[in-house]
Amino acid sequence: MDTMFTLNQCHHQSFNSTITTSGSSSRSSTEHHTTHHHHQPPQQCFFMEEDNLSSSSSIHPYYSPNQFPSHDNNNFHHHLISTSPPPQLKSHAFSQDVVREFSDSLSPNCWSRELLSEAARALADNNSSRLQQLMWMLNELSSPYGEIDSKLSFYFLQALFARMTESGNSTYRTLSSASAKTCTFESTRNLLLKFQEVSPWTTFGHVASNSAIMDAFNGETKLHIVDFSNTYCTQWPNLLEAIATRTDDTPHLRLTVVTTTGSNGTETVMQEIGNRMEKFARLMGVPFKFHVVHHSGDLSYFNLNQLDTKTDECIAINFNGTLRSVSYDRRDYLLSMFRNINPKVLTIVEEEADMDVGTDGVKFLKGFEECLRWFRVYFEALDDSFPKTSNERLMLEREAGRAVMDVVGRRPECSVERRETAERWWRRMRGSGFDGVVISEEGCDDVRALLRRYKEGWSVLQPEMGAGIFLMRRDTPVVWASAWKPV
């Protein structure tokens, strides 16, 4: 079988295995597939407590059914996977039921959703045998290099397994540090710029926010932007250009970037980014100062004094994809914290999904379904935008896979990828003392002009109620951009 279940091997033999895509074999799982694929580093070993080994089933020495976590106990089990050899790739007796159940009914286009939902249900119901069977089946069909269903299956299965074994935190940390090891300024830049070239996913938010910021900064001479975003300052060159060309008196701009990803290798990347930004600002003729603040942990514990705000400057706060990293019960507090700085404008860009998977059965299922839906939208959008063999898309998918691991596999208090709907954010903002600022006609025109430069399938929606605008991908809202001012 694959590394998912034999990670105790912890060596490289499975790393170089051949890969066959399971995309074409969505129907039958009785064929022998070798789906070796490897992206996780060898650290992903799981340790089982000794006394449980004896109770493991004879067919499946890999984990004991007794080890399924009950979600309301906080014991953190480490599972040791025994050193038995990889399983045979034939259908075991137990799995016949599941195979029979699904082999005729799986639709070719979203089988992953069906299977994964079933697996989630089995997990929520504590139906261990059924869960095992489903996971086995999913594993057969999973591959990060296959069709969308295979990919989703791969990442979700991994997350479900981590949830099941309560190893979400460590797995997530492992995945993150693995990615951080290969992360450089160049790789980050190339990835982001390529993504922005082929898809308006991030540029939509940039254009909308910049428009709101320029409107708010109109006539001011000293500007300070506090940036909490996950796009590594790719938003700002266009704003610098706008400042340079659209103002009569070029104002001074201070940019304070706050990073929240901790030890992800972002320090060195941000330093280089800062250098580039300063140079570019010089080129544009904008007096500019750049400052990075590294913050670890929940953003709601951020110390505002680190911003070093001045009384004579006009402040804009920009949240792009980072509000979701705050734990649910701290979000309102964070927003009111920023209300106290009294910014001229506060911009929010977030992805439109409700990823509250809660801790227990019913909530978990509902949240899980939503995650399935959301990540499918994202993967499909990536698939549409990038060419078939794009390395960048693979990187982005892996990043999404880490997000899946975070939402599904980790405990809610540690989770940093829990997206929330625009409506919920709107309520929070209103409750924290903010009022929505309408994005101007020019801003909307800019956004529409932006979308015209991409492949078709994207549009803008201005909701009747609430605030902000949505990026729509074929009638599905995917990204929400809004601007706020203190009341």
Partner 1 sequence: MMFSASVYSSSNKTSTSLSDQDAATSTVSPVITSKIHHDQFTPSITLSSISSHVQEHDHLYPSPQKIKKKRNLPGNPDPDAEVIALSPKTLMATNRFVCEICNKGFQRDQNLQLHRRGHNLPWKLKQRNNKDEVKKRAYVCPEPTCVHHHPSRALGDLTGIKKHFCRKHGEKKWKCDKCSKIYAVQSDWKAHSKTCGTREYRCDCGTLFSRKDSFITHRAFCDALAEETARLSAAAAASISIPNTHHPSIINNVTNTPFNIQLSSQNSTTSLFHFNHNHPNPTWIPTQDPNPARIKPETINHPHRPTHHLLPAISLPYYQDPDPTRIISRAPATFHGLHVSTGVHQPPAHHLSATALLQKAATVGHVVDHVGSTMSGLDMGELGHVTSSVGYHQHVGLTSGSIATWHKTDRLTRDFLGLTGDQEVDHHGGVEANVNVRSMLTYTGGIEIPADGGFGTSGSDAWGNC
Residue 383 interacts with partner 1 (CB under 8 A): yes or no: no
- Per-residue tokens: 362: 């019913």
Residues forming a β-bridge with 351: 479
Question: How many residues sit close enough to partner 1 to count as binding (CB under 8 A)?
Answer: 77
Cβ of residue 215: shortest distance to partner 1, in angstroms? 14
Residue 483 burial by CB count (10 A; 0-12/13-18/19+): exposed, middle or buried?
buried
Q: Is residue 162 within a helix (H) or strand (E), and if so which, with residue range? A: helix 148-164
Output the CA–CA distances (angstroms, integers) from residue 347 to 259, 312, 319, 438, 468, in the order listed: 17, 21, 6, 11, 9
Contact call for residues 35 and 139 (beta carbons, < 8 A): yes
For residue 226, give Cα distances in angstroms to 89, 223, 253, 419. Answer: 54, 10, 11, 21
Q: Which region among 84-92, 232-240, 373-381, 478-486 touches partner 1 (by CB under 8 A)? A: 232-240
Q: Show contacts with partner 1 in window 299-358 (CB under 8 A).
A: 308, 310, 312
Pick from 16, 70, 75, 182 the residue near partner 1 by CB under 8 A: 182
Say whether residue 402 binds partner 1 (CB under 8 A).
Answer: no
Does 396 help bind partner 1 (rule: CB under 8 A)?
Answer: no
Residue 105 in contact with partner 1, rule: CB under 8 A: no
In the complex with partner 1, the residue whose CB is nearer, 251 or 367, is 251
Nearest CA to 154 among 414, 407, 404, 406?
Answer: 404
- Minimal distance in Å, beta carbon 182 to partner 1? 7
CB atoms closer than 10 angstroms to residue 249: 7
Q: Which of 218, 359, 391, 462 binds partner 1 (CB under 8 A)?
A: 391
* CB closer to partner 1 out of 207 and 213: 207
Q: Applying CB under 8 A, which of residues 172, 204, 290, 470 lies at the interface with partner 1? A: 290
Q: Which of residues 416-455 bind partner 1 (CB under 8 A)?
A: 442, 445-446, 449-450, 452-453
SS3 465: coil
The C-alpha atoms of residue 137 and residue 142 are separated, in whole angstroms, by: 9
User: Site residues for partner 1, window 21-60 (CB under 8 A)?
Assistant: none
Report the nearest approach of partner 1 to the CB of residue 167 (Å): 22
If the CB atoms of residues 85 and 285 are measured against partner 1, the closer one turns out to be 285
Q: Decide whether 107 or 263 has the Cβ nearer to partner 1.
A: 263
SS3 320: strand
